[in-house]
């Protein structure tokens, strides 16, 4: 199957954010650096798969990071109702990716066992490691597990014909990227395996890291999985909105590749 892929932006954070929040050991650490927040929509025939759920307004208030758009509204603008989403690939359990699991109560979740173990185990005793997680989101994943609605993929797995997940270490313990067969070739939704183009293409570590070596090896894995380097789509880069064609308000079509050259390639 060939899939159509869209990035839907639900938030942006610019004020007070600098390159030191995006890159370790950077020469221009004080330069402002904005971050975008996306969910990704995969469609083929009558199948719809959502990659990550974003987070809701309440989580935004709790973290002082307001969203611009409820993730459900982002989907409804693309003609997708909550009930249409039967499968959610959860790339990892950080608040900005799993903070909307409760918004899709009927969906089956696709997760790596290593992520569930990490988010519910002794590492979460440390403030520094726990910070990107919110207990209620992790509990929602556990509740879904007990409802028989979690599918675990160990390492590599297939969600549908042409949609695969691959575990990449470094940023969290059980992060998975999503590899999708498209008109342009194998497209890789990196999620937080590379937040920005610069992380993967310049080999720069993101500061939220549990294993630096694994993160760097992950950059090689992304390159190996994508049919071309410009088919690696970073999880949080505002450049995505500039490089890919806009197909609606806050929606960019990814599956035909970028319409401009990716800087730094
Ligand atoms: Zn993350
Ligand atoms: Zn993230």
pLDDT in tens, 15-71: 889 999 999 999 999 999 999 999 999 999 999 999 999 999 999 999 999 999 999
- 205, part of any domain: yes
185 sits in which H/E element? strand 185-191
45 CA to centre of ligand 1 in angstroms: 30
CA dihedral 149, 155, 159, 165 (to 10 degrees): 120
Decide if 233 is inside a domain: yes
Tell me, in angstroms, the distance from the centre of ligand 2 to residue 39's CA: 10
Q: pTM higher than 0.85, yes or no?
A: yes
User: For residue 131, what is the domain's CATH number?
Assistant: 3.60.15.10
Closest ligand to 132 CA?
Answer: 1
Please compute the mean of the pLDDT values over residues 79-99 and round it to a whole number: 98
Does residue 189 contact residue 234 with C-beta atoms inside 8 Å?
Answer: no
Residue 260 lies in a domain: no
Identify whether 54 is part of a domain: yes
Domain that holds residue 180: 4-250
Number of domains in the chain: 1
**Centroid of ligand 2 to alpha carbon of 97 (angstroms):** 6
* Domain assignment present for 259: no
Tell me whether residue 255 is in a domain.
no
The verdict on residue 258 lying in a domain is no
Mean pLDDT of the chain: 98
pLDDT, mean of residues 149-153? 98
């Amino acid at each position: 199957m060939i899939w159509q892929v869209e990035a839907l932006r639900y938030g942006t954070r610019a004020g007070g954010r600098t390159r030191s929040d995006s890159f370790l050991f950077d020469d221009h650490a004080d330069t402002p650096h904005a971050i975008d927040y996306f969910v990704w929509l995969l469609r083929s025939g009558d199948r719809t798969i959502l990659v990550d759920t974003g987070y809701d307004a309440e989580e935004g208030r709790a973290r002082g990071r307001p969203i611009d758009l409820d993730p459900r509204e982002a989907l409804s603008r693309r003609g997708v109702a909550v009930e249409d989403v039967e499968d959610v690939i959860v790339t990892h359990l950080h608040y900005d990716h799993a903070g909307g699991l409760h918004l899709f109560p009927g969906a089956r979740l696709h997760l790596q066992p290593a992520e569930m173990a990490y988010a519910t185990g002794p590492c979460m005793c440390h403030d520094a490691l726990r910070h990107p997680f919110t207990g209620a989101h992790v509990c929602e994943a556990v509740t879904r597990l007990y409802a028989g609605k979690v599918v675990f993929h160990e390492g590599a797995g297939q969600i549908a014909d042409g949609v695969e997940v691959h575990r990449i270490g470094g940023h969290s313990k059980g992060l998975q990227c999503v590899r999708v067969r498209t008109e342009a070739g194998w497209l890789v939704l990196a999620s937080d395996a590379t937040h920005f183009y610069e992380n993967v293409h310049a080999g720069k570590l993101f500061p939220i890291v549990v294993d630096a070596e694994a993160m760097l090896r992950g950059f090689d894995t992304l390159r190996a999985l994508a049919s071309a380097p410009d088919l690696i789509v970073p999880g949080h880069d505002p450049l995505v909105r500039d490089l890919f064609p806009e197909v609606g308000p806050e929606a960019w079509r990814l599956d035909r590749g970028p319409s401009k050259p990716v800087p730094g390639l």
